[in-house]
Amino acid sequence: MVKAKDLYKSYGKNEVLKGASIEASPGTITALVGRNGCGKSTMLQILAGTLKADKSSICFFGNDVSKDKSVFSKYVGYVPQDDPLFEELSVSDNLQFWAAGSKNVDKSIIDKFELKELLKTKVRDLSGGMKRRLTIACTLQRTPPVLLLDEPTSSLDLYYQGSISNIMNDFVSHGGTIIMSTHNEHEIVLSDVIYLFEDGKTTRILKDALDMNDIRRSFLIQDK
């Protein structure tokens, strides 16, 4: 299980997280929901190890990150909002780079993400949807047990939204853990647990108790 307790983070005088906590179990999707600037992306960056919290307690499957920073690279795959791809390189080159230079890219990844016909294509020539798929494919090559997704389908058309949702479902069906920030109502409903962010803190809601009308009213969520 992923456990993050009492996370605090300020940017200057702006307190973004004020004791926020979340838990996520294997085989589940956890959604982080709230208004822009409420701390969702900050939470994901801290869980990915790319941003240091002012105060926190974080464990991945019983491993305390304060005692061993390598826990982040061992357990976590992180997909930020902006795709971290090399635009001038081919799809194949990007896959090999994110696989830590492996000569043989995982063929199952290529098939699952429909990349076979695009391996020689430069990233700059891909659509936004294909770039997003490639970013997730690159991240999954290390087979991390935990996948952090920051707005995974933002600005994508329905085809690519559905495609990425299928990939997420497949990931958790094999025991993976997904934690994602989202404004997309379909992704919220797809999730097993929802954490609402407000005033730097979190409220946990189980799927069975989900009321989208309350979420819309409180957090001004719009389906993108």
Does residue 165 or residue 148 have the better pLDDT?
148
Nearest to 211 by CA among 183, 187, 188, 184: 188
pLDDT bucket at 213, cuts 50 / 70 / 90? low
| CATH architecture of structural domain 2-81+146-219 | 3-Layer(aba) Sandwich (3.40)
Q: What percent of the chain shows pLDDT beyond 70?
A: 91
Cα-flanking dihedrals φ and ψ of residue 90, to 5°? -80, 170
> Alpha carbon of 119 to those of 85, 116, 123, 132, 140: distances in Å?
14, 6, 10, 15, 17
Conformational region of residue 76, where left means phi above 0, alpha means psi within -120 to 50, and beta covers everything else: beta
Conformational region of residue 151, where left means phi above 0, alpha means psi within -120 to 50, and beta covers everything else: left
Nearest to 60 by CA among 145, 144, 1: 1
- pLDDT higher than 70, residue 217: no
Summarised one tens digit per residue, pLDDT across range 49-105 is 999 999 999 999 999 999 998 999 899 999 999 889 999 999 999 998 888 755 577
Question: What is the distance between the terminal CA atoms of the chain, rounded to a whole angstrom?
Answer: 30
pLDDT bucket at 184, cuts 50 / 70 / 90? confident
- Please give the pLDDT value at position 215: 65
> Alpha carbon of 116 to those of 40, 108, 119, 131: distances in Å?
34, 10, 6, 14
Summarised one tens digit per residue, pLDDT across range 114-137 is 899 999 999 999 988 889 889 999
- Please give the pLDDT value at position 103: 58
- Residue labelled with tokens 């995974």: 152
Conformational region of residue 114, where left means phi above 0, alpha means psi within -120 to 50, and beta covers everything else: left
- Please give the pLDDT value at position 36: 85
- Please give the pLDDT value at position 224: 39
What average pLDDT does the structure give for the chain? 88
How far is C-alpha 64 from the geometric centre of its chain's CA atoms?
A: 20
pLDDT bucket at 16, cuts 50 / 70 / 90? very high
Domain boundaries, the chain: 2-81+146-219
pTM: 0.89
Query: What does the alpha-carbon distance between residue 141 and residue 206 come to, in Å, rounded to a whole number?
Result: 31
**Other CB atoms closer than 10 Å to residue 134's CB: what's the count?**
22
